[in-house]
Amino acid sequence: MANPVFSTDPFFNGKASTMTAPQQGGYYPNEGYPTYQAGYPAAGYASADYAQTPGYAPTPEQLHDMYGAPSATVRDTGRLTYDDVIIKTAGLFGILLVGAVFGWQFAPQMPGLIFAGLIVGLVLGLINSFSRKPKPPLIIAYAAAEGVLLGGISVVYHYMWDGAVTSAVLATFGTFFAALVLYKSGRVRVTGKAVRFLLIALTGYLVFSLLNLILVWTNVLPGWGVYSGTLGLVVSLFAVGLAAYSLIVDFDAIDQGVRYGIPRSYAWRASFGLLVTLIWLYLEFLRLFAIIASER
């Protein structure tokens, strides 16, 4: 996985040592959830009085009760569902919007809000990306901090390049839904070779962006630095393409998590990973449309 939120988590990258192939009615990672083995009745869904020893053969009456018992639902087994991811993603996005409105309103009078949102968002993003288990309070705090940051940056772009913010918002939503449709339709597939290329491209782009930022801060390059003119337009389009394909890779990671029945609590991590990619995509679109407006 290219997104560090997913690539560092064994439940999403398929490297969990306790993860096995799907079995009917079973749960895979051994985290205290019921498992079903040969010779064992379904614990919790048949009589608790049945013997729990290997090789035990239940009576016909016990077998009748076992098969007549209600099937374990996803809620009973505590497994991840698409609904869990959708609900939590929508909630985090709502918090992001509230923070963005706050940043938009107060950043012009309090420029320090942008730097505060940047630092807090960066720290919380690293903590959430590399923590062993999802931490919902920190993920919620990250969404709020990033919202303040995006609101402050957006109001600056709005005053300097009229129309850039609206175009970036529409392009971000359009790309998200287009990527989702392409992934669900099977027209774009996530392969190991494509993910490796994406990882290499992301690493190269990160190094390139950091060098450009340093050269601009040290006044070696003026203005946008390399992000100007035709070259800047090409680089920004390339970055948008990377972010868009990262969304598809994120969808695939979530799809694998649902298929393998990982714990429902990991819906927070999945939603956090999607939010990270969406924020990156929006910032790339924002810069792209600002470059286009500058060249008019």
Q: Domain boundary at 54, 76, 98, which?
A: 76
Range of the domain at 32: 20-76
Q: Model-level pTM? A: 0.76
Same domain, 87 and 56: no
Would you say residue 11 lies in a domain? no
Same domain, 230 and 91: yes
Are 275 and 92 spatial neighbours (Cβ–Cβ below 8 Å)? yes
Are 135 and 185 spatial neighbours (Cβ–Cβ below 8 Å)? no
> How far is it, in rounded angstroms, from Cα 247 to Cα 200?
16
Most confidently predicted of 57-61, 129-133, 143-147, 264-268: 143-147
Q: Which two tokens stand for residue 110?
A: 């309090």
Same domain, 179 and 122: yes
Only one residue has tokens 């939503």, namely 173
Q: Which two tokens stand for residue 88?
A: 């939590």
Find the DSSP H helices in the chain. 4-7, 10-13, 60-68, 74-77, 82-106, 112-130, 136-160, 164-185, 192-217, 229-259, 267-294
Same domain, 60 and 87: no
Same domain, 58 and 181: no
> How far is it, in rounded angstroms, from Cα 93 to Cα 48?
43
Would you say residue 154 lies in a domain? yes
| Secondary structure (3-state) at 189 | coil
Would you say residue 111 lies in a domain? yes
Would you say residue 130 lies in a domain? yes
Same domain, 144 and 71: no
Same domain, 36 and 165: no
Side-chain half-sphere CA neighbours of 68 within 13 A: 7
Q: Which two tokens stand for residue 64?
A: 């009748």
Average pLDDT over residues 240-260: 93
The per-residue pLDDT for range 161-200, each reduced to its tens digit, is: 988 999 999 999 999 999 999 999 988 888 888 889 999 9
Neighbours of 115 (CB within 10 A): 11
Q: Which two tokens stand for residue 58?
A: 């239940």
Q: Domain boundary at 28, 59, 76, which?
A: 76
The per-residue pLDDT for range 50-103, each reduced to its tens digit, is: 444 555 566 766 666 666 655 555 555 688 999 999 999 999 999 999 999 999
| Secondary structure (3-state) at 264 | helix
Residue 119's pLDDT is what?
95
Q: Domain boundary at 55, 76, 97, which?
A: 76
Would you say residue 2 lies in a domain? no
Q: Which two tokens stand for residue 26?
A: 């079973």
Residue 77's pLDDT is what?
60
Nearest CA to 59 out of 47, 77, 44, 74 is that of 47
Are 257 and 28 spatial neighbours (Cβ–Cβ below 8 Å)? no
- φ, ψ at 263 (rounded to 5°): -60, 145
Would you say residue 10 lies in a domain? no
Nearest CA to 255 out of 81, 134, 136 is that of 81
- How far apart, in Å, are the Cα atoms of 173 and each of 128, 278, 281? 24, 9, 10
Same domain, 169 and 263: yes
Nearest CA to 25 out of 46, 55, 49 is that of 46
In this model, does residue 148 exceed pLDDT 80? yes
Would you say residue 15 lies in a domain? no
Would you say residue 57 lies in a domain? yes
Same domain, 195 and 109: yes
> How far is it, in rounded angstroms, from Cα 262 to Cα 71?
19
Same domain, 27 and 113: no
Q: Which two tokens stand for residue 235?
A: 């680089």
Among the ranges given (12-16, 159-163, 192-196, 234-238), the one the predictor scored with the smallest mean pLDDT = 12-16
Overall domain count for the chain: 2
